[in-house]
Amino acid sequence: MSGDTKAPGTAPKISSFRLLGTMGGAGALAGLLIVLVYQFTLPTVLANRAARLETAIHQVLPGIERYDTLYFHNRALVRELPPGVDARKVEKVYAGVAGGRERGYAIPASQAGFQDAIDVIFGFDPAGRATLGLVILSSRETPGLGDKIEAPKWLEQFAGAQTPLSAVKAGQSERPEDVEMITGATISSRTVIGAINKAVERWAPIIEAYRAGGKP
């Protein structure tokens, strides 16, 4: 009998180099497919995100006819960026306009919640230092608890609330700055309130400086 005869049931040996090559090729193909899918869907994702943002701006600045995008560049708000500056990498606020006059500013804000960061956008009246509305843009808070921050009844509190906001227990709102927290979701509701207060503290003087140089 030939010395090359293998015993019945014995699996053929596979070269480790061949195995690594196969695995590497499969990984590369999977990576390529992911990149292609990402590039194919990116325009749709960006378009949906832009539409969502536009809707949110009109919600937090009710009654506006249009809004202007303002860019934060060189420690100030500007209407146009210098050539070569990527607008996608610049912070923005949005000036709402109606009847040729400003009607407030839509300010994005973000802060870590119980599960993950909570992204919001709120309307702000710099003259009265009051919030005009609030929309939750993104939240991964616990379903049935933390996600109650998206309930319309809770969001209504931010229409005309004075800043800095004060977080109070449910049923204890007495002052214009009081915002009632949600029972069972105090962390999430306190996070939103804190995000707004920090954003107002930062952006209010920047917006005032912009207004001193001209209105929309």
Contact by Cβ (8 Å): 164, 200? yes
Nearest to 123 by CA among 56, 23, 206, 195: 56
Q: How many domains does the chain have?
A: 1
Predicted confidence at residue 198, as pLDDT, reads: 98
34 lies in some domain: no
Question: How, if at all, do strands 166-168 and 178-180 pair?
Answer: parallel
pLDDT in tens, 52-76: 999 999 999 999 999 999 999 999 9
Q: pTM score, two decimals?
A: 0.78
Domain housing 192: 40-212
67 lies in some domain: yes
The amino acid that residue 98 corresponds to is A
Nearest to 135 by CA among 154, 152, 121, 117: 121
Contact by Cβ (8 Å): 98, 68? no
> What are the DSSP E strand ranges found in the chain?
66-73, 76-78, 92-98, 101-112, 117-125, 130-138, 166-168, 178-180
29 lies in some domain: no
The rounded Cα 175 to chain-centroid distance in angstroms is: 29
Question: How, if at all, do strands 130-138 and 166-168 pair?
Answer: unpaired
Bond preceding residue 143 cis, omega within 30 of 0: no
pLDDT in tens, 25-54: 777 777 777 777 656 665 675 677 788 999
pLDDT in tens, 164-205: 999 999 999 999 999 999 988 888 999 999 999 999 999 999
32 lies in some domain: no
Percent of the chain with pLDDT over 90: 62
199 lies in some domain: yes
24 lies in some domain: no
CA 11/CA 139 separation, integer angstroms: 52
26 lies in some domain: no
143 lies in some domain: yes
Check residue 176 and give left, alpha or beta (phi > 0: left; psi -120 to 50: alpha). alpha
Largest CA distance in the chain: 100
Predicted confidence at residue 11, as pLDDT, reads: 57
Residue 104 half-sphere exposure toward CB, CA atoms < 13 A: 26
Tokens of 193: 């309130």
